[in-house]
C-alpha cells in the first residue's frame, strides 16, 4: 500500500446524507494507511435545490466546521484539514463568497456536478444523457470547469473530468477541449485534484485521465490527491495507482493546504515506503 506520507483531501461525512461512518472512522483508516494528512471536504449546502440526500443544510455548516476543527485540535497524526466541496453555480458566486469567508477553511474545493441545472453525475438523472451529442456535452462541461477555475472561489478543482463518470465518451480527440480548459486553469492558478473515485465508477479510471494529467503537467498546474471517500474503507483507496500515473507524467510533488496557503510534499519519498 503506497499511501504512506500522502494526503487525502476529499473525504465526506454522514452529514451529506449519502456517506457512512463517523469522522473518527475516517481518521483511523487514514492512520492505518500512514497518510500524513487528510482533509474533510463535505458537500457544501446546495443553494439552488434542497435535497437532504445531496448535502447538509445551511444551518448545519457551523456544526460541521466546529466538528472538524475540534477533531483537528485533538488529532495530530494524521494532520486534519478543514475543506469543503462546493458546487460551481455561476449565479451564486457572490452569495457563496460571503458565506465561505466566515469560516476558517484550509481549502475550498470546486466541483462541477450540474450543467444547465442537470445533475449529470447523479445516477437518478441518467436519462439526461439520452440523445445528447456527447462532443458538445464534453465541450460544455470543460467550459464550465474553466469558468469554475476563474470564478475566484476555489483552491482546488475536484474530479476534473467527472463528465466521463458513466462511461459516455465522445468519439475523437478531446485534446483541444482539454487544452483550452487547462490554459484557463493554469492562468487562474488553481490546483487540480487527482481522484481515485473514478476507478469505482463505470468510467473505471482515475479522474483525470492520463492525457489530461499530462497537459496539466505541461502547464505546471499543481495537483493533489483525493479519494472522494463516502465510506471510511474508501480513504486512500488505490492511491498507489494515482502515484504511478503522477510519476509517469512527471509530477514530483503534491500540494498541502493550510488556511488557503499551499506548500508542497514530495511524492516519491511519500509513496516509496511500504507498510
Residues binding Zn ion (CB under 5 A) = 228
Q: Which three cell numbers stand for residue 181?
A: 480548459
CB closer to Fe ion out of 4 and 203: 203
Could you tell me the smallest distance in angstroms from the CB atom of residue 99 to Fe ion? 19
Could you tell me the smallest distance in angstroms from the CB atom of residue 18 to Zn ion? 6
CB closer to Fe ion out of 85 and 155: 85
Instruction: Please name the residues in contact with 275: beta carbons below 8 A apart, sequence gap of 6 or more.
Output: 1, 4, 33, 34
Could you tell me the smallest distance in angstroms from the CB atom of residue 79 to Zn ion? 21
For Fe ion (CB under 5 A), the number of binding residues is 3
Which of 6, 33, 78, 111 is close enough to bind Fe ion by CB under 5 A? 111
Distance spanning both ends of the chain, measured CA to CA:
6
Per-residue contact flags (x/-) with Fe ion for residues 177 to 206, judged by CB under 5 A:
------------------------------
Q: Which three cell numbers stand for residue 106?
A: 484550509
CA-CA distances (angstroms) from residue 117 to 28, 87, 200? 37, 11, 25
Indicate if the alpha-carbon torsion angle 65, 201, 21, 80 is positive or negative: negative
Q: Which residue is nearest to Fe ion (CB)?
A: 111
Could you tell me the smallest distance in angstroms from the CB atom of residue 201 to Zn ion? 11
Could you tell me the smallest distance in angstroms from the CB atom of residue 84 to Fe ion? 10
CB closer to Zn ion out of 2 and 113: 113
Rounded distance between C-alpha atoms, residue 42 and residue 157, angstroms: 14
From the list Zn ion, Fe ion, none, pick the one residue 8 interacts with, judged by a Cβ distance below 5 to 8 Å according to partner type. Answer: none
Could you tell me the smallest distance in angstroms from the CB atom of residue 133 to Fe ion? 24
CB closer to Fe ion out of 13 and 256: 13
From the list Fe ion, Zn ion, none, pick the one residue 155 interacts with, judged by a Cβ distance below 5 to 8 Å according to partner type. Answer: none
Per-residue contact flags (x/-) with Fe ion for residues 203 to 232, judged by CB under 5 A:
-------------------------x----
Angle between the N-to-C axes of helices 175-188 and 134-150, in degrees from 0 to 180, rounded to the nearest 10 = 10
Beta bridge partners of 265: 254
- In this chain, which stretch among 53-61, 64-72, 105-113, 263-271 interacts with Fe ion, using CB under 5 A? 105-113
Contact 109, 84 (CB under 8 A): yes
Q: Which three cell numbers stand for residue 200?
A: 469505482
Q: Which residues of 140-168 are buried (b: 16+ CB within 10 A; e: fewer)?
A: bbbbbbbbbbebebbbbbbbbbbbbbeeb
Rounded distance between C-alpha atoms, residue 205 and residue 194, angstroms: 11
CB closer to Fe ion out of 4 and 38: 38
CB closer to Zn ion out of 34 and 155: 155
CB closer to Zn ion out of 228 and 238: 228
Considering only residues 60 through 99, tell me which ones interact with Fe ion, judged by CB under 5 A. Answer: 85
Rounded distance between C-alpha atoms, residue 109 and residue 113, angstroms: 12
Where on the chain is the footprint of Fe ion (CB under 5 A)?
A: 85, 111, 228
Amino acid at each position: 500500500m503506497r499511501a504512506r506520507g500522502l494526503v487525502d483531501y476529499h473525504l465526506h461525512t454522514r452529514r451529506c446524507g449519502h456517506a457512512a461512518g463517523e469522522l473518527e472512522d475516517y481518521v483511523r483508516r487514514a492512520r492505518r494507511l500512514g497518510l500524513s494528512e487528510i482533509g474533510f471536504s463535505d458537500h457544501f449546502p446546495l443553494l439552488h435545490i434542497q435535497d437532504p440526500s445531496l448535502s447538509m443544510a445551511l444551518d448545519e455548516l457551523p456544526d460541521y466546521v466546529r466538528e472538524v476543527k475540534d477533531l483537528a485540535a485533538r488529532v495530530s497524526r494524521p494532520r486534519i484539514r478543514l475543506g469543503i466541496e462546493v458546487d460551481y453555480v455561476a449565479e451564486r458566486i457572490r452569495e457563496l463568497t460571503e458565506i465561505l469567508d466566515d469560516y476558517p477553511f484550509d481549502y475550498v474545493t470546486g466541483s462541477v456536478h450540474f450543467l444547465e441545472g442537470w445533475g449529470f453525475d447523479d445516477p437518478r438523472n441518467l436519462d439526461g444523457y439520452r440523445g445528447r451529442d456527447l462532443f458538445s456535452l464534453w465541450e460544455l462541461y470543460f467550459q464550465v470547469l474553466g469558468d469554475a477555475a476563474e470564478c475566484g472561489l476555489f483552491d482546488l478543482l475536484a474530479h476534473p473530468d467527472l463528465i466521463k463518470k458513466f462511461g459516455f465518451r465522445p468519439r475523437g480527440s478531446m485534446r483541444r477541449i482539454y487544452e483550452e480548459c487547462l490554459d484557463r486553469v493554469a492562468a487562474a492558478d488553481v490546483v487540480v485534484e487527482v481522484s481515485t473515485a473514478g476507478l469505482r465508477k463505470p468510467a473505471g479510471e482515475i479522474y483525470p485521465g492520463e492525457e489530461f494529467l499530462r497537459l496539466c503537467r505541461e502547464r505546471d498546474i499543481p495537483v493533489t490527491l483525493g479519494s472522494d471517500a463516502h465510506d471510511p474503507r474508501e480513504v486512500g483507496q488505490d492511491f498507489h495507482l494515482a502515484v504511478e500515473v503522477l510519476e509517469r507524467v512527471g509530477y514530483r510533488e503534491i500540494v498541502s493546504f493550510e488556511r488557503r496557503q499551499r506548500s508542497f510534499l514530495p511524492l516519491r519519498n511519500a509513496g516509496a515506503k511500504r507498510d
